[in-house]
Amino acid sequence: MENPYGKITTLERVLEFFHDEMTLMFGGFGGVGSPPTVIDGILEKGVRNITLIGNDTGFPHIGIGKIISQERAKKVIASHIGSNPVAGQLMNRGKLEVDFSPQGILAERIRAGGVGLAAILSDIGVDNEIVAANKPHYQLDGKDYLIETALTAEVAIVYAKKADPYGNLIYDKSARNTNPLVAMAGNVTIAEVEEIVPMGSLNPEEIITPGVFVDYIIQSKGVNWKWAWE
């Protein structure tokens, strides 16, 4: 495949961006839509004490859940951890810090980070002790709001069905989930894709993530998503 933009590369090259104590944002919902090849590479490299930002903690042996299960993460910012009992056990033992954010608010915080906003205002959870804990309030037109800080990360990893050499991405049905938002919010964004196609072969109307947000593209070694639900 011709590589005029220098974005198509190898797993070994992108692993240079992963290190201990980093912040890592990932796409995926219950493991579906998370990049398996990159995640396996992170585990093989031995990266530890990661702060993870994403919708959930996957399943113990699926998606980002493998990083949780091997105790490579020190903190998770997510909407829930219920599908991964290991995450709950680590949280209760004080070995994993968990910052819960309502799913819609989490998505909006990621989007805000991707477009350069510092924070958003939300009235969701104003009266909920867990949601409102340690968050500043703001009064606007007599109504109370929480200030929800925007989210970004050193590296964002996403999974897509197709990419062209510039990094324009198309996702596969529900595997799209949070990936388009996550792709916007990393200082470096790495896309793992099932298929790399020539420039001009993607229908512009079908492109979800413009290549301007993608820094590197790697070929996926493949995954069977049905395992996530077994």
List the pLDDT tens digit at each of the 230 positions of the chain: 567 789 999 999 999 999 999 999 999 999 899 999 999 999 999 999 999 999 999 999 999 999 999 999 999 999 999 999 999 999 999 999 999 999 999 999 999 999 999 999 999 989 988 788 889 999 999 999 999 999 999 999 999 999 999 999 999 999 999 999 999 999 999 999 999 999 999 999 999 999 999 999 999 986 544 434 33
Measured at the alpha carbon of residue 37, what is the angle toward residues 33 and 41, in degrees to the nearest 5? 130
The residue type of 222 is G
Ramachandran region of residue 116, left (φ > 0), alpha (ψ -120 to 50) or beta?
Answer: left
* Local structure of 129: helix, strand or coil: helix
pLDDT at residue 230, as a whole number:
38
Which pTM was predicted? 0.93
pLDDT at residue 130, as a whole number:
78
Per-domain boundaries in the chain: 11-229
- Per DSSP bridges, beta strands 143-149 and 119-122 are antiparallel
Which CATH class, in words, describes the domain spanning 11-229? alpha beta
The answer to whether 177 touches 169, Cβ cutoff 8 Å, is no
pLDDT at residue 1, as a whole number:
57
Residue in 189, 91, 182, 107 with CA at minimum distance from that of residue 148: 107
The answer to whether 133 touches 122, Cβ cutoff 8 Å, is no
